[in-house]
């Protein structure tokens, strides 16, 4: 059995899956077809609904996956075949030539600056130029250039080799050949993503014909500070700032003519975000978004759209663009569109952005074919609602948009879920820190500082601007410095040998390296120190590349002076540094799961399969939660057999201990060491992690005569009827009206309940199938059948179900009259009020949070969002985690979601929990806060500001105490403490003040 895994596709989903597997102790290959991991997220400007910079939140993940001891990135490669069976797969991987030796290259980028051939930059969607040999983008991982053979002058003419000449480490290899790697793994995750719709296929919108028509992804690049215009929003034709921007939704989505009947799930929010960000760049800009339905179905999405409308002057126009003409003199676009009222308008715009949809990518389909997993008719991977991360081939899992369009958090959730499933297949895992034997550490107590300083030339990257010998000469005279020298590439292997030799010969006990960025290189130098018996925290890193040679390229003297200053600053800081050690915490390898619904049961089974003891607490007398009322899925799968099987599995699993009719009385402790008292029984459980799966509830309507008239029911009640004995009663119906957004998207609950549109359509279709005669009206605000659910909306319309849009301001009126129930609703298309007399009125009641969330949030010190759902650590990249380590969330406790999403998230929570439970101990940070007790007044201000809950008040001693294992070293407490009783190791006040003095 091979306890290794392979993730195919290095976008955000693949990265997350590989990181989770790595953290669980599974050695993982991450195979990426391009030269760098990062995927489409690396090209985005900001992310909705928080407007976080995409690259800023992605690049830490890139660095992490690039340096993870358990993850091997195989870039510029694709999978050829997969043979064998689960746990025993043999994979053939084709590694294409880069023409750069990955082992030798230091990523200095000199080849790129010297290459004479310019090509359109694929990273910027061709809106700017790059070189034929290039690092794809500054944060690329691996940061190794790739040569484009098709345009390389040497490859074309046999002359040039400029890059080779300048490469100091001789990494250029024109003769590099394709290589086939044969790898053995136990499980595989497919995460090859999707591709953007080719807007040229819709030539009525003028893409590629008119210069000022761009796609949404091109527009992302225009908005991005790292984009072709450095974030200056200008239109391509004349470089002028646009004043009027039109964004057209559903280009290549929800269009059968374009071959894509699905909804692309992300474009509505992307458009809203682009409108907001554009207006932040250009306060006067006016943006109009042409849409069919505003699909703001996720957490905080509706609030975000409202923000775009109200604070950022964005017009949302329900209608399609009929034609686009471009004025040949001004390149201004004349757009003709039809409003929902049927009025034809003509309006001028300076820029048109086409929100291009996502569709199955060629490479995804290729991969699917080679791995022999089934795709649906559209080319997306086929999945079952109850097995959202499984493909049709055992042992092969999937995540991200390869199985249907989805946004970043959904992809990340699925990734963690797929990692959990892949790991569960491999059975019991034990993550061990890869231990290296390091020599005995030098005891520096009482020994004066002996600083060694190494100044990197970075080939000519630094040395062509900064006078490196002069810096070396200068620092060698500074107090405490016992050795100073320059290095061609400080990061090269032979440089590590030089540093080690200097430490030994000169008895150095503190090291400064002046080179590039600590973000990517610090851990490597720290390892060199450890190998020489020097504590890794007796190290400082000065960045004289980005901060000197790059920004002051035209002022070499000043750059040199600044390099001296920064190095001197680091020398002083390292003189005042102390050796630091990491605290460790033991982990109790058991999990507490709160809630025995679908989410809780799924998470419990995943963890039990990985051999962890699970305590599953359910407040009711039976398991299943809301699933007991969901009889079928949108696709028509029956849920009862699944529920029965789950119930049985949970009940008979020896590693799952069930506590029925039980509630949480008290939870204390922290990651690895929680203690919980249940009621009943009143005994204490010790556990290492907590998964919150406390679910949600159906809203009990107070409107539309619900509870006053028997003919008014909720969608859930209708579903019970449709699947029960009352079915015959339903067959005699003549008119059915469904009202959407009951208790959702109103002033009290501003959020969308996400599942009601699909539920209404599911039940409406079922009604029609039962008896095609009755008229079924669905009164809606926006139909939110996002992603692949769109086809059911289509089929509902084909079955004659009538959809009528209403506004929040003009809700339907329900009353009783002589004809029985009466529903009046204003039809905007006909501009008339329709009077319908249904014999059944079905209310699509929203999902509300579990009222007990509040108490749980207090027990676990984790936050709730304004709507009462649990608020995760980061809505994009940490969708099941909290800032408080060891606590995870899934299912309706997080936000309304459907069965498949619930299962994916539950598996994700289990996977994230397993990354903790698979370790014997948790290692804390070295740079943590500490309290000087004699100064502490116990005022508690630090307790309030610590988001990691690492500080507690010792009421007896009246002082604060820091749990170093939980401290992340953010320093918020140190900044808050008025008494200066808190200091941050590695950043002590004294150290910083001395360093400041030295500048």
Which residues are registered as beta bridge partners of 4? 27
Q: For residue 638, what are the CA distances in angstroms to 651, 723, 760, 791, 902?
A: 21, 10, 17, 19, 16
Stretch that binds another protein, among 451-459, 500-508, 570-578, 937-945 (CB under 8 A): 937-945
Least distance (Å) between residue 47 CB and another protein: 17
- Residue 254: name the closest of 900, 798, 786, 801 by CA: 786
User: What sign for the dihedral angle of Cα 531, 537, 538, 541?
Assistant: positive
Burial class (CB in 10 A: 0-12, 13-18, 19+), 366: middle
Least distance (Å) between residue 538 CB and another protein: 21
Contact residue for another protein among 165, 334, 980, 996 (CB under 8 A): 980
When the beta carbons of 637 and 933 are compared against another protein, the nearer one is: 933
Least distance (Å) between residue 925 CB and another protein: 21
Q: Alpha helix (H) ranges present in 816-897?
A: 853-860
Q: Is 941 in the site for another protein (CB under 8 A)?
A: yes
Q: Is 944 in the site for another protein (CB under 8 A)?
A: yes
When the beta carbons of 645 and 979 are compared against another protein, the nearer one is: 979
Beta strand residue intervals within 748-867, DSSP E: 775-780, 802-805, 813-817, 820-827, 832-836, 840-845, 847-849
Least distance (Å) between residue 978 CB and another protein: 5
Least distance (Å) between residue 501 CB and another protein: 34
Least distance (Å) between residue 479 CB and another protein: 10
Contact residue for another protein among 157, 436, 934, 999 (CB under 8 A): 934
Cα 135 to Cα 109: distance, rounded to the nearest angstrom? 7
- Which three-class secondary structure state does DSSP give residue 550? helix
When the beta carbons of 111 and 959 are compared against another protein, the nearer one is: 959
When the beta carbons of 773 and 958 are compared against another protein, the nearer one is: 958
Least distance (Å) between residue 752 CB and another protein: 23
Contact residue for another protein among 938, 964, 968, 970 (CB under 8 A): 938
Task: Find the binding residues for another protein in span 119-178 (CB under 8 A).
Answer: none
- Residue 908: name the closest of 872, 949, 862 by CA: 872
Q: Is 939 in the site for another protein (CB under 8 A)?
A: yes
Residues 6+ apart with CB under 8 A from 309: 315, 316
Q: Is 936 in the site for another protein (CB under 8 A)?
A: yes
Contact residue for another protein among 447, 551, 829, 993 (CB under 8 A): 993
- Residue 168: name the closest of 395, 415, 459, 452 by CA: 459
User: How many Cα atoms are found within 13 Å in the side-chain-facing hemisphere of 766?
Assistant: 23
DSSP 272: H
When the beta carbons of 708 and 934 are compared against another protein, the nearer one is: 934
Least distance (Å) between residue 882 CB and another protein: 17
When the beta carbons of 469 and 971 are compared against another protein, the nearer one is: 971
Tell me whether strands 847-849 and 696-698 are parallel, antiparallel or unpaired. Answer: antiparallel
**How many residues contact another protein, by CB under 8 A?**
22
Taking a C-beta distance cutoff of 8 angstroms, is the pair 207, 22 a contact?
Answer: no
Cα 153 to Cα 115: distance, rounded to the nearest angstrom? 9
Q: Is 940 in the site for another protein (CB under 8 A)?
A: yes
Tell me whether strands 52-53 and 46-47 are parallel, antiparallel or unpaired. Answer: antiparallel
Cα 41 to Cα 35: distance, rounded to the nearest angstrom? 15
Least distance (Å) between residue 611 CB and another protein: 41
Least distance (Å) between residue 99 CB and another protein: 46
Stretch that binds another protein, among 314-322, 503-511, 599-607, 938-946 (CB under 8 A): 938-946
Least distance (Å) between residue 944 CB and another protein: 5
When the beta carbons of 383 and 569 are compared against another protein, the nearer one is: 569
- Residue 964: name the closest of 938, 990, 983, 979 by CA: 983
When the beta carbons of 807 and 990 are compared against another protein, the nearer one is: 990
**Element housing 756 (H / E):** helix 756-770
Contact residue for another protein among 179, 203, 430, 937 (CB under 8 A): 937
Least distance (Å) between residue 926 CB and another protein: 23
Determine phi and psi for 254, rounding to 5 degrees.
50, 30
- Residue 346: name the closest of 327, 322, 330, 329 by CA: 322
Taking a C-beta distance cutoff of 8 angstroms, is the pair 73, 32 a contact?
Answer: yes
Q: Is 310 in the site for another protein (CB under 8 A)?
A: no
Taking a C-beta distance cutoff of 8 angstroms, is the pair 895, 885 a contact?
Answer: no
Q: Is 953 in the site for another protein (CB under 8 A)?
A: yes
Stretch that binds another protein, among 393-401, 821-829, 871-879, 979-987 (CB under 8 A): 979-987
Stretch that binds another protein, among 271-279, 492-500, 801-809, 970-978 (CB under 8 A): 970-978
Taking a C-beta distance cutoff of 8 angstroms, is the pair 904, 927 a contact?
Answer: no
Contact residue for another protein among 177, 477, 990, 999 (CB under 8 A): 990
Least distance (Å) between residue 980 CB and another protein: 4
Cα 122 to Cα 127: distance, rounded to the nearest angstrom? 8
When the beta carbons of 478 and 660 are compared against another protein, the nearer one is: 478
When the beta carbons of 748 and 997 are compared against another protein, the nearer one is: 997
Q: Is 322 in the site for another protein (CB under 8 A)?
A: no
- Residue 640: name the closest of 624, 664, 617, 622 by CA: 624
- Say whether the peptide bond before residue 626 is cis (omega within 30 degrees of 0): no
Stretch that binds another protein, among 573-581, 613-621, 627-635, 974-982 (CB under 8 A): 974-982
Q: Is 997 in the site for another protein (CB under 8 A)?
A: yes
Q: Is 935 in the site for another protein (CB under 8 A)?
A: yes
Tell me whether strands 481-487 and 451-456 are parallel, antiparallel or unpaired. Answer: parallel
Stretch that binds another protein, among 150-158, 495-503, 527-535, 940-948 (CB under 8 A): 940-948
Residues 6+ apart with CB under 8 A from 346: 334, 335, 336
Least distance (Å) between residue 969 CB and another protein: 18
Q: Is 480 in the site for another protein (CB under 8 A)?
A: no
DSSP 262: S
Cα 304 to Cα 865: distance, rounded to the nearest angstrom? 14
Stretch that binds another protein, among 18-26, 248-256, 595-603, 934-942 (CB under 8 A): 934-942
**CA max distance for the chain:** 102
Q: Is 976 in the site for another protein (CB under 8 A)?
A: yes
Measured at the alpha carbon of residue 469, what is the angle toward residues 468 and 470, in degrees to the nearest 5? 90
When the beta carbons of 87 and 992 are compared against another protein, the nearer one is: 992
When the beta carbons of 845 and 981 are compared against another protein, the nearer one is: 981
Least distance (Å) between residue 955 CB and another protein: 9
Stretch that binds another protein, among 247-255, 468-476, 531-539, 935-943 (CB under 8 A): 935-943
Report the chain's terminal Cα–Cα distance, integer Å: 58
Contact residue for another protein among 225, 524, 855, 979 (CB under 8 A): 979
Least distance (Å) between residue 136 CB and another protein: 33
Contact residue for another protein among 68, 945, 968, 971 (CB under 8 A): 945
Q: Is 958 in the site for another protein (CB under 8 A)?
A: yes
Cα 102 to Cα 105: distance, rounded to the nearest angstrom? 5
Q: Is 284 in the site for another protein (CB under 8 A)?
A: no
Q: For residue 127, what are the CA distances in angstroms to 44, 215, 440?
A: 14, 12, 55
- DSSP character string of 165-186: HH-TT--B-TT---EEEEEEES
Residues binding another protein (CB under 8 A): 934-941, 944-945, 953, 958, 972, 976, 978-981, 989-990, 993, 997
């Amino acid at each position: 059995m091979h306890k290794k895994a392979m993730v195919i596709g290095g976008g955000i989903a693949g990265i997350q899956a590989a990181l989770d597997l790595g953290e669980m102790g599974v050695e993982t290959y991450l195979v990426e077809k391009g030269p760098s991991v990062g995927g489409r997220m690396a090209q985005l400007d900001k992310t909705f609904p928080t407007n976080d910079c995409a690259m800023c939140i992605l690049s830490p993940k890139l660095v992490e996956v690039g340096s993870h001891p358990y993850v091997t990135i195989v870039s510029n490669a694709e999978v050829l075949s997969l043979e064998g069976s689960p746990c025993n797969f043999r994979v053939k991987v084709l590694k294409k030539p880069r023409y750069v030796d990955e082992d030798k290259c230091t990523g200095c980028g000199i080849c790129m600056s010297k290459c004479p051939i310019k090509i359109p930059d694929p990273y910027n969607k061709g809106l700017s130029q790059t070189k034929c040999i290039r690092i794809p983008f500054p944060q690329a991982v691996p940061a190794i250039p790739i040569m484009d053979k098709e345009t390389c002058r040497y490859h074309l003419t046999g002359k040039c080799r400029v890059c080779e000449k300048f490469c100091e480490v001789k990494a250029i290899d024109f003769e590099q050949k394709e290589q086939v790697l044969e790898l053995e793994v136990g499980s595989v995750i497919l995460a090859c993503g999707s591709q953007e719709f080719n807007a040229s296929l819709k030539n009525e919108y003028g893409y590629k014909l008119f210069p000022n028509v761009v796609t949404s992804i091109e527009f992302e690049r225009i908005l991005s500070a790292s984009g072709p215009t450095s974030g200056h929003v200008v239109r391509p034709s004349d470089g002028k700032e646009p004043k009027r921007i039109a964004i057209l939704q559903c280009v290549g989505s929800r269009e059968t003519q374009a071959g894509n009947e699905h909804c692309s799930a992300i474009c509505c929010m992307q458009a809203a975000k682009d409108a907001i960000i554009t207006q932040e760049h250009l306060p006067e800009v006016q943006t109009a978004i042409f849409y069919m339905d505003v699909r703001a179905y996720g957490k905080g999405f509706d609030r975000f759209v409202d923000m775009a409308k109200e604070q950022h002057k964005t017009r949302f126009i329900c209608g399609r663009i009929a034609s686009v003409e471009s004025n040949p003199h001004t390149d201004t676009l004349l757009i003709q569109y039809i409003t929902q009222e049927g009025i034809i308008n003509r309006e001028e715009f300076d820029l048109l952005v086409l929100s291009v949809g996502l569709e199955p990518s060629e490479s995804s389909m290729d991969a699917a074919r080679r791995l022999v997993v089934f795709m649906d008719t559209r080319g997306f991977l086929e999945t079952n609602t109850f097995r959202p991360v499984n493909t049709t081939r055992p042992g092969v899992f999937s995540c991200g948009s390869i199985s249907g369009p989805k946004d970043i958090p959904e992809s990340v959730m699925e990734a963690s879920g797929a990692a959990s499933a892949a790991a569960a297949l491999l059975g019991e895992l034990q993550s061990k820190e890869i231990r290296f034997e390091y020599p005995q550490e030098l005891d520096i107590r009482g020994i004066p500082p002996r600083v060694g300083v190494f100044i990197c030339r970075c080939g000519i990257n630094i040395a062509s601007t900064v006078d490196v010998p002069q810096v070396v000469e200068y620092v060698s005279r500074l107090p405490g410095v016992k050795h100073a020298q320059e290095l061609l590439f400080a990061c090269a292997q032979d440089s590590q040998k030089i540093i080690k030799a200097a430490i030994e010969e000169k008895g150095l006990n503190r090291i400064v390296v002046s080179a590039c960025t600590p973000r990517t290189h610090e851990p490597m130098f720290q390892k060199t120190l450890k190998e020489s018996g020097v504590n890794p925290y007796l190290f400082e890193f000065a960045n004289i590349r980005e901060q000197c040679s790059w920004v002051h390229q035209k002022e070499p003297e000043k750059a040199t002076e600044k390099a001296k200053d920064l190095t001197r600053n680091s020398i002083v800081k390292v003189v005042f540094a102390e050796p630091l050690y990491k605290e460790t915490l033991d982990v109790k390898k058991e999990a507490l799961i709160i809630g025995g619904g679908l989410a809780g049961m799924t998470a419990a089974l995943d963890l039990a399969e990985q051999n962890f003891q699970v305590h599953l607490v359910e407040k009711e007398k039976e398991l299943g939660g809301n699933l007991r009322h969901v009889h079928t899925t949108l696709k028509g799968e029956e849920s009862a057999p699944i529920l029965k099987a789950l119930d049985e599995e949970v009940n008979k699993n020896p590693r799952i201990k069930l506590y029925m009719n039980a509630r949480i009385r008290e939870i204390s402790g922290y990651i690895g060491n929680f203690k919980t008292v249940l009621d009943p029984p009143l005994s204490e459980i010790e556990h290492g992690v907590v998964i919150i799966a406390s679910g949600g509830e159906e809203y009990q309507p107070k409107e539309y005569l619900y509870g006053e008239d028997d003919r008014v029911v909720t969608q859930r009640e209708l579903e019970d009827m449709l699947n029960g004995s009352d079915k015959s009663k339903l067959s005699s119906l003549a008119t059915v009206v469904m009202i959407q957004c009951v208790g959702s998207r109103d002033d009290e609950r501003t959020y969308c309940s996400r599942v009601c549109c699909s539920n209404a359509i599911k039940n409406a279709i079922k009604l029609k199938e039962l008896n095609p005669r009755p008229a079924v009206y669905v009164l809606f605000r926006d139909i939110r059948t996002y992603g692949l659910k769109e086809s059911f909306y289509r089929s509902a319309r084909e079955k004659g179900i009538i959809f009528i849009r209403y506004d929040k301001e003009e809700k339907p009126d329900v009353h009783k009259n002589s004809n029985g129930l009466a529903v009046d609703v204003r039809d905007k298309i006909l501009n008339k009020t329709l009077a319908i007399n249904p014999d059944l009125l079905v209310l699509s009641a929203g999902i509300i949070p579990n009222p007990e969330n509040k108490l749980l949030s207090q027990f676990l010190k984790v936050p709730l969002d304004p709507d009462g759902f649990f608020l995760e650590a980061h809505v994009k990249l940490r969708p099941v985690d909290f800032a408080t380590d060891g606590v995870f969330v899934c299912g309706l406790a997080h936000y309304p979601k459907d069965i498949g999403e619930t299962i994916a998230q539950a598996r994700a929570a289990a996977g994230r929990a397993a990354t903790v439970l698979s370790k014997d101990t948790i290692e804390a940070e070295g740079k943590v806060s500490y309290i000087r007790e004699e100064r502490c007044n116990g005022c508690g201000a630090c307790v309030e500001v610590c988001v990691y809950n690492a500080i507690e008040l010792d009421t007896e001693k009246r002082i604060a105490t820091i749990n170093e294992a939980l401290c992340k070293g953010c320093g918020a407490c140190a900044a808050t403490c008025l008494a200066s009783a808190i200091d941050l190791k590695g950043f002590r006040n004294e150290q910083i003040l001395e360093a400041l003095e030295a500048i």
